Structure 1
Amino acid sequence: MSVLLQQFARLPVPGRVKTRMQPVLSAEQACALHEALVLWTSRRLLQAGLGTVELWAAGGVDHPLFRRCLGEGVSQICLQRGDDLGHRMQCALASGLRRAAAVLLVGSDCPEIDAGYLRAATRALQHVDLVLGPALDGGFVLIGVRRPVSDGVFANVRWGSETVLEETLNGAQAAGYSVQLLTALQDIDRPEDLPVWEGLQAAVDPAVRR
């Protein structure tokens, strides 16, 4: 089964990304964190070796961060289109399914996603229509599909709330999709999440521990 991997990321602008990290981090530090997570995620997707990797950007596609992702192996930078997050994901997934049998879409906030997690999602899609990777805060860190997402799946989702996963799951099941859930992972959204990010960095680069 051919698989396309899509990464969602926002244009890195201080004061507009990772705002919930303030005031523990300055606007510039929060933006630097965002950029680091975008790079980390794109590298994880590329290293998984499951298929082509695309980066879908919100706010613009022309930025040195995105050009760096291209230089490291991302196939293209696409502009997100849609009225809300659900519509933007729906459009990206539909685009991907015109070019691959299955699509995995992730954000740029969950550095715990690795090759094993992505392979588990791919295996699930051999048996179900839709796979979701739950986030510990009630959202989801991954959505994978092998058929287009209908309007009803995201129709009643309150984005940014603690019920995003539950509402998406309800919408998918009501629309007739078979669904499988993966292991829940931690997003890096708030100051209390920073130790998870620091621990992952330290596991890769011992210099982080010093």
Structure 2
Amino acid sequence: MNIRILVFAKAPLPGRAKTRLEPALGAKGAAQLATAMLDGTLTHCLAAELGPVELCMSPAPGHSDWRAFSLPAGLVQSDQGDGDLGARMARSAQRGLAQQDAVILVGTDCPQLCVNLLQTAATRLARCDALLHPTRDGGYALLGLRRFSPTLFEHIPWSTSQVASLTRQRLDALGWHWHEGETLQDIDEPGDLLQLPGRWMNHYAERM
């Protein structure tokens, strides 16, 4: 099964990326962490070798906000476009499913999205219609799809604790066979920084 991984990211600039972490890290520190998480996510997604890896970018590829960042070779680059997060994810998922057997949608906020987790997700997805990895704050870090329905993305209060529960309800209402994977940890709030991998913790501890 050929899978397209869709990575959603905004340019990790001070004052624009991971702003909820600024009380602990400052604007520059939050942007540095956002850059590290973007780099790590893309590295793992490419190393998983599941199929094309598409970076869905905000702002669009070629914008000056991206000039300072070196992106790895082999990426497909696309513009997230207009609308709320749901509209942008829906467009990318529908386009991806027209090109590959399945799509895996991820952000860059979860350091646990390693090669093994992605490959395990692909194996599980081969046996079902959809796969959800929820996060401890009520969102999700990974959504895998072999079928498309706009209802998974419409009228969802993004960045709230209702996201995963509403997505579960929509999947059940569709009558799809779906699997829920392990609960993961996003890094969104200052308290989440305690969950950073040890290799990063020392670097950011001085800013906490």
TM-score, with normalisation over the residues of structure 2?
Answer: 0.89
Distance 1:157 1:78, change over 3 A: same
User: Which residue does the alignment assign to 2:191?
Assistant: 192
Aligned length: 203
**Distance in 2 separating the partners of 1:82 and 1:168:** 22
Deviation, 1:96, is 0.9
**Distance in 2 separating the partners of 1:184 and 1:146:** 21
Determine what percentage of the aligned residue pairs are the same residue. Answer: 35
Comparing both chains, which one has the higher relative contact order based on Cα–Cα distances under 8 Å and sequence gaps of 6 or more? 2
Distance 1:32 1:208, change over 3 A: closer
**Distance in 1 separating the partners of 2:31 and 2:189:** 13
User: Which residue does the alignment assign to 2:177?
Assistant: 178
Is the 1:124–1:131 Cα contact (8 Å) retained in structure 2? yes
**Distance in 1 separating the partners of 2:81 and 2:147:** 19
User: Which residue does the alignment assign to 1:121?
Assistant: 121
User: Which residue does the alignment assign to 1:47?
Assistant: 47
Is the 1:35–1:65 Cα contact (8 Å) retained in structure 2? no
Q: Does 1:3 align with 2:3?
A: yes
**Distance in 1 separating the partners of 2:157 and 2:190:** 23
Is the 2:8–2:105 Cα contact (8 Å) retained in structure 1? yes
Deviation, 1:60, is 2.9
Q: Does 1:104 align with 2:107?
A: no
Deviations 1:139-198 (A, max 9, x none): 0000111112x2222234211111110011111221232211110111011112223224
Give the AA of the match of 1:130: A
Q: Secondary structure at the match of 1:155?
A: coil
Pairwise CA RMSD:
2.2
Deviation, 1:200, is 4.6
User: Which residue does the alignment assign to 1:64?
Assistant: 67
Unaligned runs of 5+ in 2: none
Give the AA of the match of 1:194: L
Distance 1:139 1:169, change over 3 A: same
Give the AA of the match of 1:40: G
Is the 2:89–2:153 Cα contact (8 Å) retained in structure 1? no
Q: Secondary structure at the match of 1:87?
A: helix
**Distance in 1 separating the partners of 2:30 and 2:88:** 24
TM-score, with normalisation over the residues of structure 1?
Answer: 0.88
Is the 2:25–2:204 Cα contact (8 Å) retained in structure 1? no
Q: Secondary structure at the match of 1:22?
A: helix
**Distance in 1 separating the partners of 2:163 and 2:53:** 25
